[in-house]
Structures are given as structure tokens and as C-alpha cells.
Amino acid sequence: MPFPTFIRTERLLLRTWNDGDRDSLFKLNSNPRVMEFFPTLLSAKESNELFDRIQKHWNRYNFGLFAVEDLDENSFIGFVGIVHVDFDCFFAPNLEIGWRILPDFWGKGYASEAAISTIRYAFQELNATEIVSFTSVLNERSRSVMRKIGMEFITEFHHPNLPMDDRLSKHALYKIIK
């Protein structure tokens, strides 16, 4: 069964994307604080390519990354969602939950709130039995969200798409089981 086109939580609206979201996604992907634990900031072209990949994932699988809005402010705050692990690694094939939230909305529990709702739908509607998440071992904010939503630390690994000597190469893998 496909994901819904939106999920409403107490404070958030998680929804599918529209072309008007391209600028908001670029603002997110070009923010140095948001992208601190990614190899580079994304250019407008790269952000548009990511937008297109998000749409293709939704079209192919009927689920993916949601655009997230703060209901009080009616404003885009980032994304949260479930995608297929898309690189060769020991924990693929699997589903991954991921998020990016604008810094103005950090520390309010939004990533956790959106992730918990997304995981619930993945377990109920996609019949997923486990979901993984991973980030640089340096990204304590994201690791904290993983723990808050009930994920367990599994192991550290070197991300295969990064050089071994890159400061971001070492990643922490977390998992939640239905």
C-alpha cells in the first residue's frame, strides 16, 4: 500500500513535493549549518537534481522524502522521509529514514516528531520490518534524534562514497525493528 500524500502531526504537515518547493529545498541544501556533515553544500543545479531524484523515488515506489511544514507558521522547515539505501553496503537492501531541518527549527523536536510518524507509516503501510539511519559519527544532533525515536546503535562503518581519510567518512549506523 502506498504512503499517503501527506501526514499531519500535532505541529507539522509532511507532504509530497511540488515545483514551488525547489527554492526552499535549495535554501536547505545551501545552508552551511544544515550541510555541516555532508561533503559539500549543494549548488542550485545539484539541489534541483536532488529534487528530481526525490520525485522519481515517489513515482517509482509510492513513498519517499516528505516536505515538512510548521503548521503554526505555514512555512517549509525541511524534509523527513523513507528511501531505499542507494549505495553498495553491508546493510543494503534496506529502507533508510533521513531528515534535514533548517536551523531556525532545531531544538524543537520537529525532526523526532516527523520521523516517528514516518516510521509508524512505514511499519504499518509498507510492512517494513526494519529501518536504518546513518550519519557521520561527528553529527551528534542527528545521532540524538536517532536515539530519541527509538533507534539502536549498531556499528560504525566507512561510507563507501567518501575517501577513507575524509573527516566525514566514518559513519554511525542505527536501526529500529518493528
Q: Are the beta carbons of 55 and 67 closer than 8 angstroms?
A: no
Of the candidates 168, 110, 162, the one whose C-alpha atom is nearest the C-alpha of residue 137 is: 168
For position 21, what pLDDT does the model report?
97
Task: Assess whether pLDDT exceeds 90 at residue 149.
Answer: yes
pLDDT digits (tens, 9 = 90+) for 4-56: 688 999 999 999 999 999 999 999 999 999 999 999 999 999 999 999 999 99
Mean pLDDT (the chain) is 96
pLDDT digits (tens, 9 = 90+) for 51-86: 999 999 999 999 999 999 999 999 999 999 999 998
All structural domains of the chain: 6-128 (3.40.630.30)
- Give percent above pLDDT 70 in the chain: 98
Task: Assess whether pLDDT exceeds 90 at residue 3.
Answer: no
For position 4, what pLDDT does the model report?
66
Q: Which of 31-35, 85-89, 103-107, 160-164 has the lowest mean pLDDT?
A: 85-89
User: Residue 15's beta-bridge partner residues?
Assistant: 6, 67
Residue at grid coordinates 512505514? 122
Q: How many CB atoms lie within 10 A of CB 49?
A: 12
For position 2, what pLDDT does the model report?
59
Question: What is the rounded average pLDDT of the residues 122-128?
Answer: 93
